[in-house]
Amino acid sequence: MKTNSRKVKVAIVGATGYTGSELVKVLLDHQYVAITSLTAKIEQESKISDIFGKFLGRCDLLCKNLDVDDVAKHADVVFLALPHGVSMHYADAFLKKGLKVIDLSADYRLKSLETYTKWYNIKHTDVKNIARSVYGLPEIYRAEIKNADLVANPGCYPTVSILSTLPVVAKNDIGLSDVIIDAKSGITGAGRKAVLSLHYSEVNESIKAYKINEHQHIPEINQELSNVDGKNFEVSFIPHIVPLNRGILATCYIKYREKLDANEIYNLYKNYYKDEPFVKVLDKGRLPEIKDVVYTNFCHIGLKVSEDKGLIVAVGVIDNLLKGASGQAVENMNIMCGFNEKEGLI
């Protein structure tokens, strides 16, 4: 951990969105960080505490429209809490000015330009930095993140989906035959925007599936599990919207062919995550609930194994705005800057 008294100066670009405001909240409790710049696409420059009353007296910085040169003068690290297709227009400029960049959009997650264009329907304008970026899932890439200057923060669905399946995919010798992920997310996962289908009266007292096997997070899940498995890995992914403010529950159905009993599977998960600060594998017989992880950076995983069917049901839960976005972004910043990984998050 860094021990000098100088705080790392941090800028948040996109501070008025859900992930941006969550970053402000988390970083205000970080003893080694000073928030020095807040920007967003905003009609009138305003104090962040006037936009979000919860920051009154805690953070009264003026939220301005983005000026890269001005932000760079006052920051060491910049978080890009921007929509997909927007971050790519700014990341390189900040990198050239010597800043560390943590991007919360999908712009630098996918290594295949063709795949990015297919799933996001956007032409990438910063191709040279795609190879430079490190996928920001510490449970896989901690060593690479430590030396990175551009981190692609994972999506919320991929985070919980990958963590819930990773130990058996990494084992690579149990004859995996199929992985089906049934995921349910709260409304904040769609971002802070005015869309009729996301209005309270449209989602309350209801649940719906959407983008079945068409969701833009599918190639991200496939990419990372393929990297671990060493083969072309493809999941079936069915997302749902549920009437919650925040949280994701992913039920992962993992079919395998080799003879493994339930105790071996439990021990596999327990051992895989025994040194991970933010992943907790529950004891046999316990399954996780969203209410246990909201407002935290933890991922809880519960297991049910049917030996006769060759089926592992892994249930993972996270807070989509923290371990699924802003909390994990701060976790990545801690690793990049040499802080304790848990700083500001526990």
Contact 337, 146 (CB under 8 A): no
Which helix (H) or strand (E) segment holds residue 299: the answer is: strand 299-306
Q: Which residues pair with 318 in a beta bridge?
A: 248
How many of the other CB atoms lie within 10 Å of CB of 26? 21
How many of the other CB atoms lie within 10 Å of CB of 305? 20
User: Which two tokens mark 282?
Assistant: 């529950």
Q: Rounded to 5 degrees, what angle do the CA atoms 64, 70, 74 make?
A: 100
Closest C-alpha among 289, 207, 222 to residue 251: 289
> Could you give the residue numbers annotated as active site?
156
Q: Which residues pair with 252 in a beta bridge?
A: 181, 314
Which helix (H) or strand (E) segment holds residue 280: the answer is: strand 279-281
Closest C-alpha among 120, 152, 158 to residue 248: 158
- Residue 171 backbone phi and psi in degrees, to 5: -65, -40
What letter would DSSP give residue 301? Answer: E
